[in-house]
Amino acid sequence: MKKTLGKRGLTSFVSLLVLIVLVFFLSRLTGDPTSLYLPVDASETMRENFREIHGLNDPVLVQFWHYVTDIARLDFGESLRKARPALEVVIEAFAWTLQLAFITMVLVTAAAITVGAIAAFNVGTWFDRAASVLSLIGASAPDFWVAIVGIVVFSVTLGWLPTSGTGTPWHWVLPVAVLFIRPFGLILQIVRGSMINALGSAYVKTARAKGVKNRPIIFVHALRNAMLPVITVIGDQAAALLNGAVVVETIFGFPGVGKLMIDSIMQRDFNVILAAIMVTAIAIFIMNLLIDLAYAVLDPRIRT
């Protein structure tokens, strides 16, 4: 198991290096930030001074070398927009995204596993059919469309919920609800399919023959053996929330790392773009390692 985790760690490190190279050079293609941060009538001297201060006068390869040596010391430079360390700005925003993703995934996991397990135990009933329809609708619904409809219905028409911000618990309801729908549908489908296979296995039939009640059969005997593919999907969806909540955060004005990335790209704040992608990538790599550990806990064969 240690050897497997070591290989995964090495692979993640190589992937991170490739990501640094791609993001650094692609971000430079967005243009010269001096046109955004200096007045239109700024003199060429002012522009040269700005580039010199922020290291933009050097050739791109020299800039890249300076950047790599700086991040090796955990120095991601300064944000052009906020005049603060870029890493500090990103961690502040990432904390909001992490809270949003954690709350959403806790609710999604509990709901999807419960509904999927009950649906699998009652295959062919009205509950199973309703769960299947809900899962298909949830997996197919575009986040941006659901977010806009939610604002129109619950904020504009009914006036029940605020449209943006994070001031009260009510501000979290729409973002969490919108992010809940897609992973709920996908995880529910996987749980239902895995549980149907597990419930038809020999050890479950033996448990039933011994007179074991339905609840222990579903949530003790069958569910644990059905969880390996479910954990994979849960991990993928959690990573997608960390990396893909850009649209939802932008629509609801949520101060997370997704919205920060969009704002930084528009404002050509290179250091913040790179720091945001680095922090998000490291979080996803760590999550993948945790999924591998969860496999080993659930299946002893993986430990050996």
- The 8-class DSSP code of residue 219 comes to I
Please state the pTM of the whole predicted model. 0.77
The secondary structure element, H or E, covering residue 277 is helix 270-298
Q: Tell me what pLDDT residue 21 has.
A: 83
Q: Tell me what pLDDT residue 196 has.
A: 81
Q: Tell me what pLDDT residue 107 has.
A: 92
What sign does the CA torsion over 140, 224, 122, 110 have? negative
The amino acid occupying position 222 is: A
Shortest CA distance to 94 belongs to which of 222, 241, 280, 238? 280
Using CA atoms, how far apart are residues 26 and 22, in angstroms rounded to an integer?
Answer: 6
What sign does the CA torsion over 285, 287, 289, 295 have? negative
What sign does the CA torsion over 97, 103, 106, 112 have? negative
Please count the other Cβ atoms lying within 10 Å of the Cβ belonging to residue 234: 24
Using CA atoms, how far apart are residues 211 and 213, in angstroms rounded to an integer?
Answer: 6
Shortest CA distance to 112 belongs to which of 55, 189, 52, 49? 189
Q: 104 Cβ partners below 8 Å, 6+ apart?
A: 176, 179, 180, 183, 241
Q: Which domains does the chain have, with CATH numbers?
A: 86-303 (1.10.3720.10)
Using CA atoms, how far apart are residues 78 and 83, in angstroms rounded to an integer?
Answer: 6
C-alpha pair distances (Å), 231 with each of 40, 104, 301: 53, 16, 16
Residue segments in the chain with a per-residue pLDDT below the cut of 70: 1-6, 8-9, 35-37, 39-42, 201-224, 243-244, 295-304
Three-state secondary-structure class, residue 85: strand
Enumerate the H helices of 29-142 as residue ranges: 34-37, 44-53, 60-71, 86-121, 126-140
Shortest CA distance to 32 belongs to which of 18, 19, 48? 48
Q: Distance of alpha carbon 244 from its chain centroid, rounded?
A: 6
Taking the chain, what is the end-to-end CA distance rounded to the nearest angstrom? 7
Q: Tell me what pLDDT residue 26 has.
A: 80
